[in-house]
Amino acid sequence: MANYAKTKYLEQKLLNHVLLGVEYTPPAQIYLALFTSDPGRNGSVANEVNDSAYTRQLITFDPADDDPESGSYCQNTALIRCPQATQDWGNVSHGGIMDAQAGGNMLYKGPFKKAKQVLEDDFFEVPAGEVKVVED
């Protein structure tokens, strides 16, 4: 399990909301996007998987819990199985939590526990509990 961190976009939205009273409405649904490299603090989608069969998948989380050593966290509730690859996707190493199924903004990003070379006809799966968003 790898920890996911906020992107610059979400950091600024939350700071402005909490400290300045600037309204921020969270998305009704969030999606997991797959990447072949770290999207970085800015949440770049330049290396998102590119295949006509690929779509971002809905992701849901358990309510926040606390770990006295690492801080409060949420984990994804269920296995996420992405559509079958119709071409090679490359080495899928990172995920991004997005506020839209296409386009939109990246909220959190982080590495998967194990990167996977996804070839044509392969599936990429993310086990329940693999995506852990931590606030410390």
Phi, psi (deg, nearest 5) at residue 38: -65, 125
pLDDT value of position 69:
83
Residue 8 contacts residue 43 (beta carbons within 8 Å): yes
Domain count, the chain: 1
Element (H, E) at 58: strand 57-58
Residue 123 has pLDDT above 80, yes or no: yes
| Averaged confidence pLDDT in the chain | 95
Distances from the Cα of 94 to the Cα of 3, 13, 22, 78, 132, angstroms? 11, 23, 31, 18, 13
- What is the pTM for the complete model shown? 0.94
Task: Give every CB contact of residue 74 below 8 A, 6+ residues apart in sequence.
Answer: 61, 62, 63, 64, 65, 132, 133
Structural domain containing residue 126? 2-135
